[in-house]
Amino acid sequence: MSFLFRGKAVGRPPHGLRTYNPRMSREHDLHRVLDCGIVAVVRFSDPGPLVEVVKALADGRVTVAEVTFTVPNAIDVIREAKKQLGDRVLLGAGTVLDPETCRAAFLAGAEFVVAPSLNLDVIRMCRRYDKLVMPGAFTPTEVVAAWEAGADIVKVFPAEIVGPAFFKALRGPLPQVKLMPTGGVDLTTAAEFLKAGAVCLGVGSQLVEPKAVAAGDFARITALAREYSGVVKAYRNAQGERPA
């Protein structure tokens, strides 16, 4: 295979010049998130078992996960998970509050960032490096501001306060905005959030159970992941839907 560089065909791209790889595009990553339907929130006080947690999630067909920056040495967890799992998991960083943390996450291998709040500089950083961004919002004004600023998906947090009815209400005037609830999503509410218009679900301790992580019970996490992915699949099959 040859490459065109400065008008000449060369056998390989010059050193430091990356060729376009559609697997690395933001659009492709967005489709991965929508196809999976679950963004696992990986948070625990001890970073030690978390790479195994990400593996266990993938074994249960939850292949999108964010490691939050509330985890001690979160950068090292992201870097090691990326090294061990490669493209098997779309790995992101959560609780990203500023552009400095955002850039550090990308350098460690994160492919997307999630935040509990809206910081326009974080969105700009993600756009600069063509990475997915899911900022947090709570009111319709914040949702629109996040979307206009370039959010790929708007994370509604804390979703347990407003419930699925809020998503249904927002979908009326804002059908174009992709919404993800985080907080209050469990096996009893997941399908209701999807029915109300959520494009995917952010799931934390109801999926990455602290008790299971502490015990090293990764089989439990895999089993829960299968249940959550099964809820998404069953809902979509019942609606005759394909991921957006």
d(CA 65, CA 57): 8
Is 66 an annotated catalytic residue?
A: yes
Are the C-beta atoms of 187 and 227 separated by less than 8 Å?
yes
Residue type at position 9: A
Are the C-beta atoms of 30 and 132 separated by less than 8 Å?
yes
Is 100 an annotated catalytic residue?
A: no
Among 66, 82, 111, 131, the active-site one is 66
Among 82, 131, 155, 178, the active-site one is 155
Interstrand relation of 90-94 and 64-68 (parallel, antiparallel or unpaired)? parallel
d(CA 179, CA 202): 10
d(CA 194, CA 239): 11
Cα–Cα distances in angstroms (integers) from residue 19 to residues 3, 15, 101, 102, in the given order:
9, 11, 27, 24
CB atoms within 10 A of CB 38: 26
Q: Is 95 left (phi over 0), alpha (psi -120 to 50) or beta?
A: left
Query: Distance of alpha carbon 238 from its chain centroid, rounded?
Result: 24
- DSSP reduced 3-state for 182: strand
Just list the catalytic residues: 66, 155
